[in-house]
Amino acid sequence: MLPPIMVAPGQTTANAKVGETVVFSVSDPTTTKISTDRPDVLTLTQGRTDGSATFNPGAEAVGPGVAVVTLTQANGTTEKVTVTVTAGVDLTITPSAS
């Protein structure tokens, strides 16, 4: 499993392949809400607290295309990140004849 694609505060673009995860680093993961104009490209997960761990909002790249993710802070401030998703590479391993 590959590490996630990390999007830093203020970053406006990101690239991912189908099957990869994109994580949006925000100051308050539990009050920041994310949305996208292309749910066919990215499946979103809101930030949350689970026991003693806090998770930033994120997305799974589910189809090729370009999606705009809007991050909305509790005070109404928004940031937009354009995420370009390309098709992943399918590998087929064929044993060679000995």
What order do you get walking across the sheet with 65-72 strand by strand?
13-17, 78-86, 65-72, 33-36
Chain segment 27-81, per-residue pLDDT in tens: 999 999 999 999 999 999 999 999 899 999 999 999 999 999 999 999 999 999 9
Is the Cα dihedral 17, 43, 31, 52 positive or negative?
negative
> Which domains can be identified in the chain, with CATH numbers?
5-86 (2.60.40.2020)
3-state secondary structure 23-86: EECCCCCCCCEEEECCCCCEEEECCEEECCEEECCEEEECCCEEEEEEEECCCCCEEEEEEEEE
Confidence at residue 36, expressed as pLDDT on a 0 to 100 scale: 98
